[in-house]
Amino acid sequence: MPYFTAVLVREGPKWVARDVDVESMSDRTEAVDMMREIGSDENPVLLLVEREDAWWGVVRVDGDEDPRVFVSNASGAGASVYADVLAVEVDDTDELVETEGCAGDFDLLADLGTSPEVLQQMCDDEVLPMDALTAIAEAAGFAEVLDSLR
């Protein structure tokens, strides 16, 4: 199954996509450094990762604040080539139910129009990754930019 990745930066009232080789990043520190480099201290930078029909994740950086991460399926993301970038930690002793669910910062998109309850509902309803990221993009105002990348 293929992956889709996108890095989006809010510049004033608009969102713009940045061409970044996410696959070459070895860990979350490298990804966050790149996101800070292309962003500004005042506006969020989002890294979207989608595994076709399986799971999706978001990494958010706001200036010098700690990065925030959310994934729709912790075990799926943790077993992927992006596990280190998403910094998903899955304890092998956890029960399957706990590791297959969504995990991370449920508030990371609240100020961009996607509440923690909506994120939870997307996970509970097993919304397809493309549909989930499209809904997030529509709420935040970057749907057209995201659509142009697909």
How many helices (H) and strands (E) the chain has is answered by: 7, 6
H or E element in which residue 3 lies: strand 3-11
Residue 100: its pLDDT value, please?
64
Burial of 86 (0-12, 13-18, 19+ CB in 10 A): buried
The answer to whether 110 and 116 have CB atoms below 8 angstroms apart is: yes
Predicted TM-score of the model (pTM): 0.88
* CA–CA dist 148, 142 (Å, integer): 10
Q: What is the mean pLDDT of each run of 10 residues along the chain (150 residues)?
A: 88 88 83 88 90 93 92 89 73 44 93 96 94 97 93
The closest alpha carbon to 40, from 20, 18, 21, 62, belongs to: 62
Residue 94: its pLDDT value, please?
41
Residue 86: its pLDDT value, please?
85
Q: Give domain limits for the chain.
A: 3-149
